[in-house]
Amino acid sequence: MKNMIKGLKKLREEKDAAGGLDKLDSRRKSGKMTARDRIEYLFDPGTFVELQSYIQHRSTNFGLDSKKYFGDGVITGFGKIHDRTVYIFSQDFTVLGGSLGEMHAMKIVNVMDLALKAGAPVIGINDSGGARIQEGISSLAGYGDIFYRNTRASGVIPQISVIMGPCAGGAVYSPGITDFIFMVQHKSHMFVTGPEVIKAVNKEEVTFDDLGGSDTHSEKSGVCHFVGSDEKNTLDMVKELLSYIPSSNLESPPAAPANDPFDRMEDKLNEIVPVNPNKPYNVKELISLIVDNGKFLEVHKGFAQNLVVGFARLGGKTVGIIANNPDIYAGTLDVNASLKGARFIRFCDAFNIPLVSLVDVPGFLPGRDQEELGIIKHGAKLLYAYSEATVPKLTLITRKAYGGAYIVMSSKHLGADIVYAWPTAEIAVMGPQGAINVIFKKDISTSEQPETLRERLIQEYKEKFANPKLPAAFGYIDDIILPTETRPLLIKALESLEHKSLENPRKKHGNIPL
């Protein structure tokens, strides 16, 4: 027995050495964590349990039979984060560049299947040269098996991708299907075709960072949801995200002790909306004044900043916040904001997270480029996502709610449960200037004093529409509230809807305008 124990210990050491102690050392020296370091950092101490750690590839192509490593370049298993079970795979670049072959894929598939059966989130730490070239079609098959599972698990368990090195070629499509993608600044890269191919095909020179770095994907493409300043900071953000979301679609999000008074009145809110309706204000400050302890985990911070989305708590319960941002494009909705909002709303709805929408929207961003980019179908996604969401939906109109954008932003007409408006709310088909120019075009053009007439008509329009009294009289808003009482009223509304039960008509699936 003694010898057996000794033998197993030796085997374990060999397994833990992965692609070689020298390679692990040089990674650490270059400031990178190893696949195992990342797991250790992420999980509650002592909770990680490794699976299939002695798997090896079975390929003999191109000398691969002499390059066998226990684990085949990916560490898989489960453990606890914030005391809740989470499954993980972490690719090990020291083994054949973390490339994915048949057995490597089999390990990932195994852990994804377990996560789905167990109803627990799955995290994938990606650090890989992509399909293992020597294994050819078996590598491609492995990716296919993973994509298939990503899709089946979508909306059932949260799937989180953490890109900590290269993620290239078709390999990007597994993270692409998952709910959230994290990247590390200047360390992660994601692209379908790399700089060399682009140079050969398009004669275009582009750096790794410009093509697929965290700035590109968090600000331009919107592929990436969170960017960490370094690996540890990125993993901290993963943990923070997990603290807001449930383990599966069958659970409620985890509640936190509500140590911020439910009935906290916030006088600063009375001052936040400027008197001049054309002046912007900081919607993130508004959010932080309302939510528990001012804590807000912003998703997609750098992308489509005219719409702010993220997680917070109200009375200890997780909510998803969607807020127009008057600081950027005056808070108008465009293609990217619509995509960002729709995706976030669908995640929240899939995982039982109530929606709180803060509305200050002058309309859709006008422009030929927006039409050409398909604002019709993308704006429709936002409308669709709000309409199909059956979780509690609370809306607060702080200022402008004009035209189609009023309808889109979680109006009563799309099934919002409770809609509040501040006294500063303006709810109408369009803003005063535009409206007067349309309805009184002839009168103004034939008037002897066109400017005086225009001003008078604008004033009349404002008095009629630039306040929330008319929609309140029609029942489109439930109450006109003082800004200071927003937090207690939202919490009460949320509590009243705790057992909301609503189902969409039976269907195989809807046909969201993709």
Q: Which residues are tagged catalytic?
A: 169-170, 404-405
Q: How far is the CB of 100 from ligand HXC (least distance, A)?
A: 7
Q: From start to end of 344-478, where are the E strands? A: 355-361, 393-402, 418-421, 426-428
When binding is defined by CB under 6 A, the residue of 51, 109, 133, 156 that contacts ligand HXC is: 133
Tokens of 233: 């900071």
C-beta closer to ligand HXC: residue 55 or 353: 55
**Given candidates 106, 131, 457, 458, which one binds ligand HXC under the rule CB under 6 A?**
131
> Residue type for 1, please?
M
Give the integer Cα–Cα distance in Å for 112 and 242. 17
Cα–Cα dist 292/315, whole Å: 7
Query: Closer CB to ligand HXC, residue 97 or residue 320?
Result: 97
Between 188 and 248, CB nearer to ligand HXC: 188
**Residues 309 and 357 sit within 8 Å (Cβ to Cβ):** no
Q: Is 35 in the site for ligand HXC (CB under 6 A)?
A: no
Q: Tell me: does residue 280 bind ligand HXC (CB under 6 A).
A: no
Q: Answer positive or negative: Cα dihedral of 165, 320, 120, 240.
A: positive
Q: Minimal CA–CA distance to 168: which of 211, 106, 224, 222?
A: 211
In this complex, which beta carbon is closest to ligand HXC, that of residue 166 or of residue 326? 166
- What residues between 66 and 125 interact with ligand HXC by CB under 6 A? 96-97, 99
Region from 128-136, 258-266, 357-365, 442-450 binding ligand HXC, contact rule CB under 6 A:
128-136
Stretch that binds ligand HXC, among 52-60, 161-169, 179-187, 267-275 (CB under 6 A): 161-169
Beta bridge partners of 81: 84
> What does the block give as tokens for 411?
């109006």
Rounded to the nearest 10°, the torsion over CA 55, 56, 59, 64 is 160
Among 55, 108, 168, 355, binds ligand HXC (CB under 6 A): 168
Total binding residues toward ligand HXC, as defined by CB under 6 A: 15
Distance CA 207, CA 419 (A): 48
Nearer to ligand HXC, 67 or 441 (CB): 67
Q: Which stretch binds ligand HXC (CB under 6 A): 74-82, 118-126, 162-170, 413-421?
A: 162-170
Burial class (CB in 10 A: 0-12, 13-18, 19+), 275: exposed
Closest of 17, 138, 139, 131 to residue 71, by C-alpha: 17
Classify burial at 94, counting beta carbons within 10 Å of its beta carbon; exposed 0-12, middle 13-18, buried 19 or more. Answer: buried
Q: Does 158 bind ligand HXC (CB under 6 A)?
A: no
- Minimum CB distance to ligand HXC smaller for 134 or for 248: 134
Q: Does 143 bind ligand HXC (CB under 6 A)?
A: yes
Asked if 171 is part of the footprint of ligand HXC (rule: CB under 6 A), the reply reads yes
Q: Which of 130, 195, 362, 432 binds ligand HXC (CB under 6 A)?
A: 130
Q: Does 315 bind ligand HXC (CB under 6 A)?
A: no
CA nearest neighbour of 416 among 429, 431, 430, 401: 401
Applying CB under 6 A, the span of 76-84, 113-121, 169-177, 283-291 interacting with ligand HXC comes to 169-177
Which span (35-43, 112-120, 165-173, 298-306) binds ligand HXC, by CB under 6 A? 165-173
Sign of CA dihedral 305, 310, 312, 314: positive
- Contact indicator for 262, 491 with CB cutoff of 8 Å: yes
* CA–CA gap between residue 512 and residue 514 (Å, rounded): 6
Given the rule CB under 6 A, which of 50-58, 129-137, 396-404, 420-428 is the region that contacts ligand HXC?
A: 129-137
In the complex, minimum distance from the CB of residue 108 to ligand HXC, in angstroms, rounded to a whole number: 13
Rounded Cα gap, residues 194 and 159, in angstroms:
26
For ligand HXC, the closer CB: 99 or 248: 99
Residues that bind ligand HXC (CB under 6 A): 96-97, 99, 129-133, 140, 143, 166, 168-171
